[in-house]
Amino acid sequence: ELKVEQNPLFLSMQEGKNYTIYCNYSTTSDRLYWYRQDPGKSLESLFVLLSNGAVKQEGRLMASLDTKARLSTLHITAAVHDLSATYFCAVHPTNAGGTSYGKLTFGQGTILTVHP
Amino acid sequence: DARVTQTPRHKVTEMGQEVTMRCQPILGHNTVFWYRQTMMQGLELLAYFRNRAPLDDSGMPKDRFSAEMPDATLATLKIQPSEPRDSAVYFCASGFTPVRLFFGEGSRLTVL
């Protein structure tokens, strides 16, 4: 069974600081997603990483994927209060033939709080 | 602006009652997922469909839950009979697998 683990689960940051959220997964995959969820709201897609070495950046967030290490990172640069939210990574497993099949499994989520 | 539409947004019901949640996926998307979110369990995959065919519902309690896609514009998740432990937010998401999924606003269910 695919396991997706994020750490840390809780992150309290000061504005202006940098930090990284890690996402480890237990099975072969070359497709990883990052989502953001504000309290009481839906999930918003942030990044789709579709190959080993993929790097995507949007504003103060940068995501990367290392399929060999089964690891993705979400790096936050110079945090601002608006980034406070819960961040999820999610993984599609890939079978032996290299076909990605659809069972998207989520990590536990990282609750990020940015304070002055 | 295309979006996934879920109804009802909020539902309060009594234990033993039937609950039906509906989802209208984004037109043209070929994959629909149902997830349940609770504080304790996080996001759990209940069922998903590709081209309206159910591919996996192993995460769903079969004795009381059922999921269907009667047509390409409607997915339903039914609980009968409902129990207090079913209280959660139920999300529907659609997309073109394996590219990104778009989530609906969720249906918040409270079973008393």
- With CA atoms as reference, the chain A residue closest to B95 would be A102
pLDDT, tens digit, 9 for 90 and up, residues B42-84? 999 999 898 999 888 888 888 999 999 999 999 999 999 999 9
pLDDT of residue A98: 53
Taking CB atoms and an 8 Å limit, are A102 and B97 in contact across chains? yes
pLDDT classification of B6: cutoffs 50, 70, 90: very high
pLDDT, tens digit, 9 for 90 and up, residues B79-96? 999 999 999 999 999 988
Taking CB atoms and an 8 Å limit, are A102 and B98 in contact across chains? yes
Instruction: Give the residues across from A94 on adjacent strands.
Output: A100
Taking CB atoms and an 8 Å limit, are A104 and B45 in contact across chains? yes
Taking contacts as CB-CB distances below 8 angstroms, the residues of chain B near A35 are 103
Mean pLDDT estimate for chain B: 93
Taking CB atoms and an 8 Å limit, are B101 and A104 in contact across chains? yes
Q: pLDDT (tens digit, 0 to 9) for every residue of chain A, 116 residues total?
A: 789 999 999 999 999 999 999 999 998 877 899 999 999 999 999 999 988 888 999 999 999 999 999 999 999 999 999 999 999 999 987 765 555 556 788 999 999 999 98
Q: Which of A42, A104, A108 lies closest to B104 in CB terms?
A: A42
pLDDT of residue A96: 57
Give buried/exposed letters for A85-116 (b at 16+ CB in 10 A, else e): bbbbbbbbbbeeeeebebbbbbbbbbbbebee
Taking contacts as CB-CB distances below 8 angstroms, the residues of chain B near A105 are 45
pLDDT of residue B86: 97
CA-to-CA distance for A111 and A8, rounded, in angstroms?
8
Choose between B29 and B56: higher pLDDT. Answer: B29
On the CB side of B66, CA atoms within 13 Å amount to 11
